[in-house]
Structure 1
């Protein structure tokens, strides 16, 4: 049961990464067909982000009532319906309408699945699963590219990914009996490493128990600190993905093709780094992965900033920053039940997802506004500030929980 459900969850993480790059990859063609300004892409992403934040905050109450399996299946079904809706949309307002279930489904499944894995699987699986998400996010631009090259139009790419999500929904519905039978769980409050524990009826520990309100969760020692650390990490990740290539071209004078290649290596570094981190995550522990990850990103940012004649160090710094980023997100999520208790983990992970999407949504335009005043040279310093905030807040959490 353990291995079968784990395989399904791996497939789910690959599939869940597929939609996340579609808007960006297809927008140039979509914008022309819909005859709207280029900047309107931001409206769609803001609607999706808003829905994701709302459903993340509500995920604890919903998951306690229905269970992670049901919430995951329904949320993926909502995402599938939204993607198919995108594929038949002939106007911009229809895209905005379908973006609502898209965001609501994405946030709920993110929180429910991450909490389930944090509770019932070891740290290596959390890293490998998030590597699978990166794989899915890397595949979808190729689906869009093939659709456009073949003359099928951007809508066919959304239709293909929507049908993949629909098939996954059916698989998840069939697998529902397995979700309550997995008997491998992390230990209760404040243990140092996950291990195989007693058969506890995993979903029963969350379903039907009392609701942990937002105000109550925020009063738990260390929660505000980890939210700040998570927001800082997601802010630096999204800012790097959007602005790294522009920084290399405008400030370092690197050729656009070379800059684009190395900017993509940042995302590939995250995906590969999570795969590699899975082999030693259980031995190293979440705390060391978070600390080492932030320090490595900081090193990469410093390499980007050094005013040397050669650009090799700067390009390598971007790759190092991607590798350093890799284990931070999975380790923060996986350590939540250990830091705050299994009973509180769903509520806190839901809030963490909301903080993550808030940072990812607000940081890139904030940096854009700052760089318009100061110049692109400030990009590495912006990353260093976020690294410092993330490292400071994560270390504060360690002090508060006594680890």
Structure 2
């Protein structure tokens, strides 16, 4: 039962990634068919992002009331309905309408699944599961490409993935009896969490969660990481072409390698994640990204260092997101983890949504040369906040260790 449910969750993580690249991959054709400007893609993504943030914040209450299995099944079902709705849309306003359940479903399932895995499975599975998200995100552009070169059109790509999501919804509904049987990961030592956190109430309101010591630090680090990742994905190719005179085809290939580096890096990290521990993975990830950014920024005659730096930065990004999520139950208590992971998801979506357009505005005023500087500021902020949190945890653990020695 344990292995069967884990396999279903792996499939669910692939499905999480499948829709994420569809709008970007199909928009060059979609906006022409719908008769709207290219810039209108931002309206769709903003509606989706707003829904994901709202449902992430509400996920704790929904999961406590319905359970992780039901929240996952309902959310995937909403996403499936939205994708099928996209495939039937003949006007832009229809896309905007269907983007609402799309975003609401995506945020809720992300928070519910991440918390469930953090509570019930080892760190290696958290890394491998997020690697499978990358698999889904990498597959969907190929589905869109095939649809655009065949008689299916962009609507066919949305219908194909929508039907696949509907099939997964059925599987999730059939698997509901398994969700309560999964054996939890070992309970963290009480010395690892603050006493008041371990005694969290049945429901943790947003204001209370934000007052838990260390939560603002983790949220800021998570925001910085997701802002860094999304900015690099969107602007790396443009920077390489405009500032380093890289051939556009080469720049596009290496920009895609940044995302592939994250996917492959998460798979490799899973091999040693349990031994290394979440704190070391987060620290090492940020430091590796910093090394990659230095290579990107070096003013040398060859562009090979910048290209290599982009790949290294992608590998460094790999363990940060899974490790922050997986460490939440240990850092803040199992009862509070769903509420805090929901807030973390909201911080992640906020960073991913706001940072790329903000850098676009900055680069328009100052030049694309500020790209590595922007990444450097974000990685420094993430590393600083995570290290401050580690010192807070160390101070929290010291009295418990002394008490254990006296006993």
- TM-score tier, shorter chain, comes to over 0.9
Measured against aligned partners, the alpha-carbon deviations of 1:196-236 in whole angstroms (never above 9, x if no partner) come to xxxxxxxxx9xxx6110001000100000000000000000
Aligned to 1:252: 244
Structure 1 position 306, deviation (Å): 0.2
Structure 1 position 399, deviation (Å): 1.4
1:401 & 1:116 partners in 2: Cα distance? 23
Structure 1 position 189, deviation (Å): 5.4
Maintained 8 Å contact 1:304/1:380 = yes
Maintained 8 Å contact 1:51/1:107 = yes
Specify every segment of 5 or more residues in structure 1 that has no aligned partner in the other structure, as ranges. 193-204
Structure 1 position 86, deviation (Å): 0.2
- CA RMSD, 1 decimal: 1.6
Structure 1 position 190, deviation (Å): 5.9
Structure 1 position 376, deviation (Å): 0.6
Structure 1 position 184, deviation (Å): 3.0
Specify every segment of 5 or more residues in structure 2 that has no aligned partner in the other structure, as ranges. 193-197, 398-407
Q: Which 4+ runs in 1 deviate beyond 2 A?
A: 188-192
Measured against aligned partners, the alpha-carbon deviations of 1:282-329 in whole angstroms (never above 9, x if no partner) come to 000000000000000011001000000011111000000000000000
Aligned to 1:327: 319
Aligned to 1:187: 187
1:190 & 1:387 partners in 2: Cα distance? 31
Maintained 8 Å contact 1:54/1:107 = yes
1:390 & 1:349 partners in 2: Cα distance? 17
2:98 & 2:138 partners in 1: Cα distance? 23
1:312 & 1:133 partners in 2: Cα distance? 29
Matched, 1:116 2:108: no
Matched, 1:368 2:360: yes
Structure with more of its chain in helix, by fraction: 2
Maintained 8 Å contact 1:191/1:338 = no
1:278 & 1:314 partners in 2: Cα distance? 27
Aligned residues: 391
1:30-179 equivalences under 5 Å are 30-179=30-179
Matched, 1:268 2:233: no
Q: Choose from 200, 209, 216 the match for 2:208.
A: 216
Maintained 8 Å contact 1:118/1:186 = no
- Normalising by structure 2, what TM-score? 0.94
- Normalising by structure 1, what TM-score? 0.95
**For residues 281 and 327 of structure 1, do their structure 2 counterparts lie closer, same or farther at Cα, with a shift above 3 Å needed?**
same
Matched, 1:358 2:350: yes
Structure 1 position 188, deviation (Å): 3.0
Maintained 8 Å contact 1:189/1:342 = no
Structure 1 position 151, deviation (Å): 2.8
Aligned to 1:237: 229
Maintained 8 Å contact 1:189/1:341 = no
**For residues 333 and 190 of structure 1, do their structure 2 counterparts lie closer, same or farther at Cα, with a shift above 3 Å needed?**
farther
2:72 & 2:297 partners in 1: Cα distance? 42
Measured against aligned partners, the alpha-carbon deviations of 1:228-276 in whole angstroms (never above 9, x if no partner) come to 0000000000000000000000000111000000000000000000000
